[in-house]
Chains A and B, each alone.
Chain A
Amino acid sequence: NAGVMQNPRHLVRRRGQEARLRCSPMKGHSHVYWYRQLPEEGLKFMVYLQKENIIDESGMPKERFSAEFPKEGPSILRIQQVVRGDSAAYFCASSPTATEAFFGQGTRLTVV
């Protein structure tokens, strides 16, 4: 059973471009979470999704950020018109029953 897969591992975008981060949860897991870690900080909750539904997006910035978890395929975190402050490590986690969540290796986004 493969773990949570995130790609790409590293992503460089110029200011104003779009960033797409992908997350394939562990097999059988229907709960997906996205977290962001800024340098020297802890992980901050962004959004919680189940298949085709956003359950809690209270940690998502109001603009430019969106997330989806379609019926088929990976979960996508999309950041439009990236700015330097978006540079961070973005972690996806999945869970079978919304208890212990298992994290992917993260995508390190650098905005230049």
Chain B
Amino acid sequence: DQQVKQNSPSLSVQEGRISILNCDYTNSMFDYFLWYKKYPAEGPTFLISISSIKDKNEDGRFTVFLNKSAKHLSLHIVPSQPGDSAVYFCAASVTSGTYKYIFGTGTRLKVLA
């Protein structure tokens, strides 16, 4: 039962353009969402998060959008840089519970110079 889904295993984008990574979830109890970036042989690095009371959160080049009715969130990276090439994981949690994260399977982003 995959409660958090990232349906695109990979994405290639030209440097300077926008990267859009998508994530869908099924559990309506999720109220906190996060994006992590992961390089090979390293741990995930926190990027940005959003609470379900918001529909947008922005931090520099990274913006996360949340559509609760569609149970969908997306991460926008603009402009994309070659150093952004990594695997991106979305995660969701129920903050009234134990805060454990349920992760998607990841999307491998490749930014082409």
Contacts and interface: CB of A to CB of B under 8 A. Distances in A.
Interface in A59-112: 59, 91, 93, 95, 98-106, 108
A106 B42 contact: yes
Interface residues of B, number: 24
Contacts of A95: 99
Contacts of A35: 101, 103
Contact of B105 (A41, A45, A101): A41
Tell me the dominant secondary structure on chain A's binding face. strand
Interface residues of A, number: 28
Contact of B100 (A45, A106, A108): A45
24 contacts: A6-B43, A33-B101, A35-B101, A42-B105, A43-B44, A43-B91, A43-B103, A44-B103, A45-B102, A48-B99, A56-B100, A91-B43, A91-B44, A93-B43, A95-B99, A99-B49, A99-B99, A100-B34, A100-B49, A101-B101, A103-B45, A104-B43, A105-B41, A106-B41
Interface of A: 4, 6, 31, 33, 35, 41-45, 48, 55-56, 58-59, 91, 93, 95, 98-106, 108
Lowest 4 A-B CB distances belong to which pairs? A103-B43, A98-B99, A56-B98, A42-B103
